[in-house]
Amino acid sequence: MIDVRDLNVIFGKGADRVHAVRDVSFAVAEGATYGLVGESGSGKSTVLRALSGLNPDWSGTVTIAGQPQTRRRGKAFYKLVQMVFQDPYGSLHPRHTVDRILMEPLAIHGLSDPERRIEQVLEEVGLGPQFRFRYPHQLSGGQRQRVAIGRALILEPRILLLDEPTSALDVSVQAEVLNLLQRLKQERGLTYVLVSHNLAVVAHMCNELAVMNHGAVVERLDVERLKRHEPQHPYTRQLVTASLGYDRAAIDRFEDFGSVG
């Protein structure tokens, strides 16, 4: 469903030049969930923005559903691929009701029967009709993220790009949203690319993952190897150690792998 080869993203020029993504390659089978893991600044969200068309300044090859992608994407692409952002409050217009937020993509794409589509997607994400005319500030963080997921789903895409979809939520709500995403994936036959720094989230959601450090993929592994704590690269082993809880002695032994290339 997704094939990425030698993806590079460079920001700025001269002394301000930042090579944010370095020769990243990966493939995602239809119906799979692929994880991109790494600490903040590792380039994983920049990969998603290139895939989604939000950042047109990239080089390499991106093929989605068998179609090579150019830097600029048309309407048909956004019916195929949608993105769910990290901050549900920042990604929803504060002065628009849930109804208007969900209506906007339908109007842009000229889809028929908006009433039915809105009611259906609200039920699917576990909100129901009573939330339809509320504003984002009247919703909890988890409810706002459900609206954002509903907005992504209302065009009936085949691929969702998930940029830290639970990291801005309370721990008690995170599992609910992850379980919702798992259910929707099964019901709709979706393909996911999930960006996260949380290895527990990746282990719960993903089939395979790529570990990124300073813009490059340093290791690829399946989730079973991750669960058995069997990564090969020392940076990945550090991530696993950090995910197990605070250990001052272990942290004191951590290395700074520095920039690659």
Q: Give the DSSP letter string of 92-148.
A: S-TTS-HHHHHHHHHHHHT-S-HHHHHHHHHHHTT--GGGTT--GGGS-HHHHHHHH
Residue 229 lies in a domain: no
pLDDT(260) > 80: no
What pLDDT does residue 247 have?
Answer: 52
What pLDDT does residue 149 have?
Answer: 97
Tell me which of 40-49, 61-70, 126-135, 166-175 is least confident.
166-175
pLDDT above 90 coverage of the chain, percent: 77
pLDDT(259) > 90: no
What pLDDT does residue 261 have?
Answer: 42
Report the pLDDT averaged over residues 157-173.
92
CA distance 205 to 208: 9
What pLDDT does residue 230 have?
Answer: 87
**DSSP-assigned letter for residue 15:** G
73: left (phi over 0), alpha (psi -120 to 50) or beta: beta
What pLDDT does residue 187 have?
Answer: 96
When pLDDT is cut at 50, 70 and 90, the band that residue 242 belongs to is: confident
What pLDDT does residue 145 have?
Answer: 95
**Mean pLDDT over each residue of the chain, to the nearest integer:** 91
What pLDDT does residue 89 have?
Answer: 84
What pLDDT does residue 76 have?
Answer: 92
Residue 239 lies in a domain: no
pLDDT(252) > 80: no
99 CB-contact burial (10 Å; exposed 0-12 / middle 13-18 / buried 19+) = middle
Q: Packing angle between helix 98-109 and helix 141-153, nearest 10 degrees? A: 20
CATH of the domain at 116: 3.40.50.300
What pLDDT does residue 171 have?
Answer: 85
pLDDT(119) > 90: yes
Residue 48 lies in a domain: yes
Q: What is the pLDDT of residues 79-113, one digit of tens each?
A: 999 999 998 888 999 999 999 999 999 999 999 99
| φ/ψ of residue 222, rounded to 5 | -85, 165
When pLDDT is cut at 50, 70 and 90, the band that residue 255 belongs to is: low
CA distance 37 to 198: 8
Instruction: Reduce the secondary structure of 146-192 to three states and give it as a string.
Output: HHHHHHHHCCCCCEEEEECCCCCCCHHHHHHHHHHHHHHHHHHCCEE
Residue 145 lies in a domain: yes
pLDDT(67) > 80: yes
pLDDT(168) > 90: no
pLDDT(258) > 90: no
Q: What is the pLDDT of residues 180-235, one digit of tens each?
A: 999 999 999 999 999 998 888 999 999 999 999 999 999 999 999 988 888 889 88
Residue 250 lies in a domain: no
Residue 260 lies in a domain: no
Q: What is the tally of structural domains in the chain?
A: 1
Residue 245 lies in a domain: no
Residue 230 lies in a domain: no
Domain that holds residue 185: 2-222
